Amino acid sequence: MKNLLILSITLVLILMTSCSGKERAITQSTIAFLDAYFKTDYALAGTFCTQPMATELKEMLKSVESLDPVVKQMLIAQSKEIKTEILSVEKFKGSDSARVDYRVIMPKGSTPLEKSLSLVKENKEWRIAGLGK
C-alpha cells in the first residue's frame, strides 16, 4: 500500500513537471519573439516563426525600410520602449498547438493592450504561427 502511494505521488509529480516544461518552452519562444518583434528586428523575430509567418515579417521589414529615415528612427526608438508581460499559456490537449495571451505595455503611461499569439510545434520547437487580436 505504501509503495502504491509513493508510485502515485511520483507519477503526479512527473506529469506536473512535464506540463510546466512545455509551458516554459512555449513561454521562452514567445518572449524571444516579442523582444525581437518590438525592437523591430523582424529578421531575428522570423527565426522564431513558422515559414509563412516569417515571410509575413519580411514584408513588414520592407514596409519599415521604405519609411522616411526620420520616421523610421522614431518608430524604432518608440518600439524599443514597449514592454510585454505574459498573461497565460494554453497548450491544447492532443495537438502540437498553443495560445499565449500577453499584455503590451506602451511607454508614457498609455493603456496596456492585451494581445495573443498562436504557436505550433515544428521539429520539436515551438514556433509563432500567427498574431492574434
pLDDT in tens, 20-69: 677 899 999 999 999 999 888 888 999 999 999 999 888 888 887 888 98
Q: Cα separation of 87 and 49, whole Å?
A: 20
Q: Tens digit of pLDDT for each residue in 85-133?
A: 999 999 988 889 999 999 999 887 788 999 999 999 999 999 999 988 6
Q: What is the pLDDT of residue 10?
A: 44
Please tell me the distance from the alpha carbon of residue 65 to that of residue 55, in angstroms, as a whole number.
15
Grouping H, G, I as helix, E, B as strand and the rest as coil, residue 120 is: strand
Superfamily of domain 23-131: NTF2-like; domain 1 (3.10.450.100)
36-60 exposure pattern, b = at least 16 Cβ within 10 A, e = fewer: bbbebbbeebbebbbeebbebbeee
**Position of cell 522564431?**
48
Cα→Cα distances 83→46, 105, 107, 111, 112, Å:
19, 5, 8, 12, 10
Could you give the CA distance from residue 61 to residue 75 in angstroms, rounded to a whole number? 12
- Is the predicted pLDDT of residue 16 greater than 80, yes or no? no
Domain ranges of the chain: 23-131
